Amino acid sequence: MPKFMFIMRADDSAHEAFADVDFSEVLDLMGRYNDSLIDAGVLVAAEGLAPATEGAVVDFASTPPIVTDGPYGETHELFDGYWIVDVADQATAIEWAKRAPCGPGVKLEVRRVPSIDEFPQDNEYVRRERAWREHTGNL
C-alpha cells in the first residue's frame, strides 16, 4: 500500500485561535485522532513541531547559504507537523486527512511518499539506502 504524508500548515489566524486553548485540550484532540489512525492500522509516523521561534531557515539563494533564525520575516503559513499513513490510495488518504482536528487557518497538504522501489535500482545511493532500510527493518 502506498504511504501518504499529511503536512500541516497553519497561518497566523490559526495560531491566534489556539493561543488561549489549554495545551492539554489540544493534546486530547490530536490524541483521539491519532488513536483512530492507530486503531485502523494506518499510522506510520506523526510529529508536531516546536514553535518557529526556535527554528532556523537555511536559504540556498547564495553561496554560502544564509541562515536566518526564527521567527521568520513574512510568513503566510508555517509547517507545524505531519502524519504519515499507509493506506490503499489517495482518496483514502484524503478521507483520513478530512477527519483531522484542524480548524480555520489550517491546511493539510496530502502528498504520496514514493517507495524506494520507484527509484533507479542501479544507483549506488539507492542500493545503500535499501541496505540501510533492510538492516534497520524499515523496508
CATH number at residue 84: 3.30.70.1060
In this structure, what C-alpha cell is assigned to residue 44?
A: 506510520
* pTM score, whole prediction: 0.84
Kindly state the DSSP code that residue 8 receives in the 8-state scheme.
Answer: E
| Cell matching residue 103 | 480548524
- pLDDT in tens for each of the 139 residues of the chain? 899 999 998 888 887 888 888 888 988 999 999 999 999 999 999 999 888 888 888 889 999 999 988 766 556 677 889 999 999 999 999 999 999 999 888 999 999 999 999 999 999 999 999 999 999 998 8
Check residue 119 and give left, alpha or beta (phi > 0: left; psi -120 to 50: alpha): beta
Total domain count for the chain? 1
> For residue 17, what are the domain limits?
3-136
